[in-house]
Amino acid sequence: GAVVSQHPSRVICKSGTSVKIECRSLDFQATTMFWYRQFPKQSLMLMATSNEGSKATYEQGVEKDKFLINHASLTLSTLTVTSAHPEDSSFYICSAEGQAGGKREKLFFGSGTQLSVL
């Protein structure tokens, strides 16, 4: 299956700092990328949808100035958590959907980033 690489896998930061998480599709072009947030023992909650070269679409209740998303190319999307606070601590997961060789790709996920804000 297609590979989605997400870095870093774990980050610990001080309150007030910004953290950038990268998501790359390694063997296909991702026309659409999604960012999810997951709390312990809960399901994935969609935060935003991003299409290459356009502004991200945020879900209701997600602060766009807090969670900056940049989808600069067909293989890279970044999520920046600005001025992080302890309540932003969570597991963040990216996913990508796209086409490769004319065959429809499914939705593949990165391995996730565990953010801990002290």
Provide the binding-site residues for another protein, judged by CB under 8 A. Answer: 1, 4, 6, 32, 34, 36, 42-46, 49, 51, 59-61, 91, 93, 95, 97, 104, 106-112, 114
From residue 42, give the alpha-carbon distance in Å to each of 17, 21, 50, 55. 26, 21, 23, 28
* Residue 15 or 57 having the CB closest to another protein: 57
**Amino acid of residue 112:** G
Beta carbon of residue 114, minimum distance to another protein (angstroms, whole number): 7
Q: Which residue, 16 or 27, is less far from another protein as judged by CB?
A: 27
Are 80 and 20 in contact by the 8 Å Cβ rule? The answer is yes
In angstroms, what is the minimal distance from the CB of 16 to another protein?
Answer: 26
And the tokens for 115? 């953010």
Min dist CB 95 to another protein, Å, is 8
SS3 47: strand
**Phi and psi at residue 89, to the nearest 5°:** -60, 125
Q: Cα separation of 71 and 46, whole Å?
A: 16
Q: How far is the CB of 18 from another protein (least distance, A)?
A: 23
Structure tokens at 105: 């790709």
Closer Cβ to another protein, 14 or 103, answer by number: 103
Between 17 and 111, CB nearer to another protein: 111
